[in-house]
A = this chain, B = another copy of it.
């Protein structure tokens, strides 16, 4: 399976700005990307990093500085998976489930209505990542053919906000989790769910 991984090189993960410096956000997003690429390699996927600017990384890179939706649609020929770069809980097993699930379009929702990963086998399917993409993708794919949804907490957990870091500290094992621990983050008890604190 050809697997496109969009990656924004410039000012990544701005919603973590109150916890991480710009340089830290770059390092952390790069560690998440490496975790995603390692899982894709383990699943036998053929990686194509779709970056907004040239990137020094041990994987094939296509540079396209257009907005995410336009860049992905330009890369979206049938039998392509699109996997976001901020899914450090991803595993080989869950990628295999994604790739092997039958359907003209297979969608893995992100928490909050995003689309964290997908497989398109339908030549007319187009993405639209603005404003809660999952309901839109599900509806447009259903008009074109069969749609399947992969139910995975690991795929649903894109790392955007401080609360998401909790999931990484609980369930993560890769470079991004190591980076976070080395940066001084650890689990903290809050009133309800677990939170994070930094030394």
Contacts and interface: CB of A to CB of B under 8 A. Distances in A.
Contact of A187 (B114, B135, B166): B135
B153 A113 contact: no
A169 B118 CA distance: 21
Interface string A124-166: 0000000110110000000000000001111110001101001
Interface in A13-63: 15
A170 B109 contact: yes
Interface in A153-199: 153-156, 160-161, 163, 166-167, 170-171, 187, 189, 192-194
Interface string A82-103: 0000000000001000000000
Contact of A113 (B94, B114, B154, B193): B193
- The contact size tier of chain A is 20 to 34
Contact of A152 (B131, B152, B161): B152
A97 B131 CA distance: 32
23 contacts: A94-B151, A110-B193, A111-B111, A111-B153, A111-B167, A111-B193, A112-B163, A112-B193, A112-B194, A113-B166, A113-B170, A113-B193, A114-B193, A132-B187, A132-B194, A135-B187, A151-B152, A151-B153, A151-B154, A153-B153, A156-B156, A160-B192, A160-B193
